[in-house]
Amino acid sequence: MDKLPLSTARSAKFSLGQVVKHRIYPFRGVVFDVDPVFNNTEEWYLSIPEDKRPDRNQPFYHLFAENTDSEYIAYVSEQNLVADTSGEPIRHSQVLQAFEQGENGELLVPVRMTN
């Protein structure tokens, strides 16, 4: 897969530990990694219906995602995400393994991940 130079990549709108939700589909999640541009398989990309396929030249987010039925890992383009301001806690079992919880309930990236 051809990669775009990082100089053409946009800055990420969402940060690690931020709770986001999908613009269309009923799921939300916590950002645990960001790719400055699309960095998944061609097969995955082509599995998205052409009329809904996002531009590759934008940040893509790895999420600890959840819906009403399950918890899973999602890979979502920035254009399909908005900040989740509901204040509802995330129940995904991996969130507290990856992040520390701050005094106000915010999710903090542990120091061990920033060094």
Q: What is the pLDDT of residue 24?
A: 93
Q: β-strand 60-66 against 28-35: which pairing, if any?
A: antiparallel
3-class SS of residue 7: helix
pLDDT tens for 74-97 read 999 999 999 999 999 999 999 999
Q: Is residue 70 part of a domain?
A: yes
CATH number at residue 19: 2.30.30.390
Number of structural domains, the chain?
1
What is the reported pTM?
A: 0.86
Distance CA 82, CA 96 (A): 22
- Please report, rounded to a whole number, the percentage of residues in the chain having pLDDT higher than 70: 87
Residue 74 sits in which domain range? 6-114
pLDDT tens-digit series, residues 32-75: 999 999 999 999 999 999 999 999 999 999 999 999 999 999 99
